[in-house]
Amino acid sequence: MERRKKHLGSHQFRTKLVRKLHDFFENFVFYLGLFVILLVVYDVGFPHYIKYVYFSVMYLWYLSFFSITLALRALRYPLKTWPQRVLQWLPVVFLATFCYYKYTEILVKPDFKSVAYYSGLLLCFVLIVLDSSRKILQIYTKRFNPALLFVISFLLLCMMGCGLLLLPRATINGISFTDALFTSVSAVCVTGLNTLDTATEFTRLGKFFILLLIQLGGLGILSFTSFFGYLYKGGFSIENQLFLKDFVTADRVSDTFRSLLHIIVITLLVEILGVAFIYLTVDAEAFSTWGQRLRFSIFHAVSAFCNAGFSSVPNGLFNPFLRKDYDFQLVICVLVIIGGIGFPIITDFYYYIKHYIMQFMMLVVNRKPVGHLPRTVSINTTIVLTTTSILLVSGVFIFFITEYYGVLYSHETWYGKLVTAFFASVTPRTAGFNTFDMSIMQPATILIYLLFMWIGASPGSTGGGIKTSTFAVAMLNVLSLARGNDRVEFRRRQIPSESVRRAFSILILSLLVIGPAILIITVLEPEKQLINIAFECFSAFSTVGLTLGITPQLSDSAKIVLVVIMFIGRVGTFTLLVAFVRQTKAINYRYPNETIFIN
């Protein structure tokens, strides 16, 4: 009996010791990671004369302590089955092996161009992201307003991006604070407006920073941190799931991680396929090496899917070797459309195709026809696809008419004219690419572009604007009022009055942001034409990135105005309002009605 008590006491002591060591190392590694990330920024972004061996030693210390933390976590939270335990200990073994290899490399022959140096740099960055995501995931459990935290996350990302672009090695000739902030906000908000030429003013490191900001901003920093935090922490609390449910458009709280996983997987899959198709369709003679061609493909695949409109070549897609590369332009169009229709629509299609495949398999196996096909496509998907199709087809038709003797005149073949018209119909829907000189467009085309930019992409996508479903619901409500109906219906479904009120709120709020912005820039830039300023403001608010050529010529004050409306357009006017307006409690009374004379 005494032996059992002694054994139990020693077991409790070991468990308590492991827990305290684990908690200590977790906190220690987190703060050490903050110091190391500053060290990485200095190492990468500044020209310095400090021996690289000192940086390698610091990276080795961080990796060693992180591997100890993972080992203690495996001891404190051991998994049940042996295969799970093997997978749990694999990262520990890998990190320990890498640390020994890096230690040997430092002792024998330290070289800042070695694989060990760059691998250690990349590994430190990934592990710091994982650890920081765990901390951010813990913040979600606090009682924060989700809309406010969403806005703050984008604001912090914009400021971090501004700091990265200010690094001496990020640009060739240096950059002012205003231009760095403008470029950072434009990349995070996936707009594409530029005060500096991305191809000629930024180094390879600066272009990498811009690409990273586009990816994080396109999908949302909360999605990335939540996903990596889940991987490191090993699960979500109920508070995390409730917080993330609306941001990942999950129908149920239990589907939060599944929806988050779908977003990440869809993004990676589409972008990888986009890189492959761009690499195959673009003219190989325009590149000196295959590496340059691959970097071009990666940059434009991410930029197109995120509807960012940034390009890594001079003059963008209006570059002489790209403006008539029609196969390449079609690939860009497909990526823009997929990124613009939204992740809920893509997920709906996935389940729809999966359903038909299962029905077909049942027919083949059971030899019986299927008698009933339940509804697998939501009314939201139907509205978005219908509106998107109408806008694309009408855009091609109108552009073909207005620009047949203008922009399209230089394209000799009908295939070239059709592809250019299709590209011109796709790009104002928050993509921001252009394959022709925007300044020579007809006034009628500019007006159509203003409307298309204002409508923008679809909800839950990487694009901006008031969104296709918002415009569609508002139009359906107008038709319902004209017909004398007291409710809005579509395809034998009734649209809730809350959605109708929200749609009209978003319409009004967008005009209340764009209108004053046009007025302020007109006062600041009296020599600029009103149509050019209006085009710039619509493009900035809807995160499109198209311009009639006045962006680099604007003063710093006008650039700040565009920065503000780019940010408001990306986070959403209604989201911004919810973040800062105090929510009222549910009321259990109702005032008497009184008629207001309208029209």
- Predicted confidence (pLDDT) per residue in 480-517, tens digit: 888 888 888 888 888 888 888 888 888 999 999 999 99
119/111 Cα distance (integer angstroms):
12
Does residue 233 have a pLDDT over 80?
no
Copy the structure tokens of residue 63: 């990796």
> Which of 363-372, 414-423, 579-588 shows the highest mean pLDDT?
414-423
| Amino acid making up residue 85 | R
User: Could you tell me what percent of the chain has a pLDDT over 90?
Assistant: 24
Dihedral over Cα of 125, 151, 465, 560: its sign? negative
Does residue 397 have a pLDDT over 70?
yes
Burial bucket for residue 210 (CB in 10 Å: 0-12, 13-18, 19+): buried
Q: Are 268 and 260 in contact (CB under 8 A)?
A: no
Tell me the pLDDT tens digit for each residue of 435-468: 888 888 899 999 999 999 999 888 878 788 888 8
List own/partner pairs for 484-493 with CB under 8 A and 24 or more apart.
490/379, 490/382, 490/383, 491/379, 491/382, 493/379
Least confident of 119-123, 178-182, 214-218, 441-445: 119-123
Average pLDDT for residues 543-564, to the nearest whole number?
90
HEC readout, 404-417: CCCHHHHCCCHHHH
User: Could you tell me what percent of the chain has a pLDDT over 70?
Assistant: 84
Copy the structure tokens of residue 177: 């604070």
Q: Are 146 and 243 in contact (CB under 8 A)?
A: yes
Phi, psi of 504 (to 5 degrees): -70, -30
Predicted local distance difference test score (pLDDT) of residue 89 = 82
Q: How far is CA 110 from CA 63, 199, 462, 558, in A?
A: 17, 34, 43, 50
Predicted local distance difference test score (pLDDT) of residue 83 = 73
Least confident of 79-93, 324-338, 381-395: 79-93
| Amino acid making up residue 583 | Q
Burial bucket for residue 286 (CB in 10 Å: 0-12, 13-18, 19+): middle
Least confident of 21-30, 200-209, 214-223, 277-286: 214-223
61/124 Cα distance (integer angstroms):
10
Average pLDDT for residues 99-111, to the nearest whole number?
78
Tally of residues, the chain: 599
Does residue 274 have a pLDDT over 90?
yes
Confidence of residue 396 (pLDDT cuts 50, 70, 90): very high
Tell me the pLDDT tens digit for each residue of 258-268: 677 777 888 88
> Which of 133-137, 225-229, 316-320 shows the highest mean pLDDT?
316-320
| Helix axes 115-140 and 52-76, enclosed angle (nearest 10) | 50
Phi, psi of 120 (to 5 degrees): -65, -40
Average pLDDT for residues 291-298, to the nearest whole number?
91
φ/ψ bin of 377: left (φ > 0), alpha (ψ from -120 to 50), beta (otherwise): beta
Dihedral over Cα of 50, 56, 57, 58: its sign? positive
Dihedral over Cα of 262, 268, 273, 278: its sign? positive
Predicted local distance difference test score (pLDDT) of residue 228 = 54
Copy the structure tokens of residue 75: 């001891």
Predicted local distance difference test score (pLDDT) of residue 104 = 82
Does residue 364 have a pLDDT over 80?
no
Helices within 238-288 (DSSP H only): 238-244, 256-281
Predicted local distance difference test score (pLDDT) of residue 166 = 92
Average pLDDT for residues 212-218, to the nearest whole number?
87
Tell me the pLDDT tens digit for each residue of 112-131: 666 777 778 888 887 887 77
Contacts (Cβ under 8 Å, ≥6 apart) of 180: 162, 165, 166
Copy the structure tokens of residue 547: 């311009």
* Average of per-residue pLDDT values in the chain: 82
Q: Are 566 and 464 in contact (CB under 8 A)?
A: no
Q: How far is CA 135 from CA 73, 130, 141, 231, 506, in A?
A: 16, 9, 11, 13, 34
Copy the structure tokens of residue 230: 């889940």
Does residue 531 have a pLDDT over 60?
yes
Predicted local distance difference test score (pLDDT) of residue 449 = 92
Q: Are 514 and 405 in contact (CB under 8 A)?
A: no
